[in-house]
Structure 1
Amino acid sequence: MNLPRNMPWLNNRIRPEFQQTLRFALVGVLNTGASYILFVILYQLFGYYIVASVLSYVGGMLISFILNRGFVFKSTARRGQLLPFCLVNLSSLACSTGVLYLLVEQFAMWVYFAQMIAIGVSMTINYLGYRTVFSSRRTNDQ
């Protein structure tokens, strides 16, 4: 998939750090939409919201790795990126699943709305983690 690396109309008007945040948001919208649709389908098929959440998260994680590495953080493929990426995602998954469970079971929140909040939690954790994993300043390539 060839995504534009430079957006001239964006580059001239917005600071690079904010451009990166905007690219992350764009990828996040795409990835979140795909993950949420998968969540709804799996929940309807199996009836277990935690299983549906975990499986949809893994599907989104695969899309996220490719798009965030190349488009958001403009990082080249290097050894040692996949394991930290997976660790960031496991941390994010644990937090978002915990939030989902808490909102549904303790606060009796509608499962679909609770999933949206859990996604917001995971997006915040992911951005901070991905920025570290894909940073060009990272010299410890394993």
Structure 2
Amino acid sequence: MRVRGQLIRFALVGVVNTGSYCACYLVLLIWLPYVAAHVVAFVLSMIGSFFLNSYFTYRTRPTWRKFLLFPLTNAANFTITTCGVYLLVDVLEFSSTYAPLIAAAAAIPITFVVSRTIMLRPDEPDPPAPEKATAGRRSGGGPDRAKFS
């Protein structure tokens, strides 16, 4: 049940992400050439997607490690949709109008697995603190105060 809820939230974030990309692209197109508008809108929407997926989809704390790995979800999506469009249009002779939609829908489960792996992977634990010498302990057996300072 938990995974299904995450998948539904992941798909909703995808819809929001697509809308934010389109809105940013159209606004930036006023001032920038289309390629620059696309790149900036893509990066901004990917950053937004990272935080939405952190807080809303997976309910996990964002970290720099996750942030730096998150673009792999976009790489997976791009690879799957590109191969899917080629397969659907050139091999199976689907309409090039609808092939991207079908390929995008097919990419959701795989992109979800990649995203979930990145976002829910435990952060590296802190290395254990070195043991303090117990020679300075008080004779009463109380806590070693140096440990807590």
TM-score, with length taken from structure 2: 0.58
Equivalent residue, structure 2, for 1:127: 112
> Cα offset for 1:63?
4.0
TM-score, with length taken from structure 1: 0.60
* Higher helix content, 1 or 2: 1
> Cα offset for 1:62?
4.2
Equivalent residue, structure 2, for 1:31: 17
Q: Tell me, yes or no, if the aligned pair for 2:51 and 2:62 is still in contact at 8 Å.
A: no
Equivalent residue, structure 2, for 1:81: 66
Equivalent residue, structure 2, for 1:140: 124
Equivalent residue, structure 1, for 2:50: 65
Q: 2:100 aligns with which of 115, 123, 126?
A: 115
Alpha-carbon RMSD across the aligned residues, in angstroms, is: 3.2
User: What is the identity percentage for the equivalent residue pairs of Structure 1 and Structure 2?
Assistant: 32
Q: Tell me, yes or no, if the aligned pair for 2:88 and 2:99 is still in contact at 8 Å.
A: yes
| SS of equivalent residue, structure 2 residue 98 | helix
Provide the rounded CA distance (Å) in 1 between the counterparts of 2:108 and 2:16. 12
Larger radius of gyration: 2
Q: 1:100 aligns with which of 73, 78, 85?
A: 85
Q: 2:8 aligns with which of 22, 26, 41?
A: 22
* Structure number with higher relative contact order (C-alpha < 8 Å, ≥ 6 residues apart): 1
**Residue 35 to residue 98, structure 1, CA distance change in 2 (3 Å):** farther
